[in-house]
Amino acid sequence: MTIIRIDQGPRMSEAVVHGDTVYLAGQIGAPGESVTEQTKAALAEIEALLAQTGSSKDHLLMATIWLADIADFEEMNAVWDAWIAGHPAPARATGESKLAAPEYKVEIIVIAARA
């Protein structure tokens, strides 16, 4: 079976397609921006990568969201809820974790089916 790697670098690929399953790397917004802005940016990147792989947010299977501070849960959810409204909600987990740099507040990882 063919494996397709999108935006592959020496360390990772932004997306990997295996069969009809799409795996995205964690997406983040610009460091130092608000949780709202970082969440919006991450979700925009997710939408673009899903489109590039032949999928969409209608085909999300699982989302994992890491917050640098779980106190930002409601702020992130306000953006997520608006983004996913009118589309099938995936399984989802959210947790608190130290991210790659202190300026990052949210990272979102998704798995989707191809359309």
pLDDT at 1: 74
Q: Which of 80, 64, 68, 74 is nearest to 32 (CA)?
A: 68
Q: What is the pLDDT of residue 45?
A: 97
pLDDT in tens, 80-112: 999 999 999 999 999 999 999 999 999 999 999
Burial 18-38 (b: 16+ CB within 10 A, else e): eeeebbbbbbbbeeebebbeb
What is the total count of domains within the chain?
1
CA–CA dist 68, 76 (Å, integer): 11
Q: According to the model, what pLDDT value does residue 72 have?
A: 98
Separation between Cα atoms, residue 7 and residue 77, nearest integer Å: 28
| CATH assignment of the domain containing 9 | 3.30.1330.40
Q: What is the pLDDT of residue 80?
A: 98
- The domain in which residue 104 lies consists of 3-113
Per-residue pLDDT tens for 8-33? 999 999 999 999 999 999 999 999 89
Q: What's the pLDDT band for 115 if we cut at 50, 70, 90?
A: confident
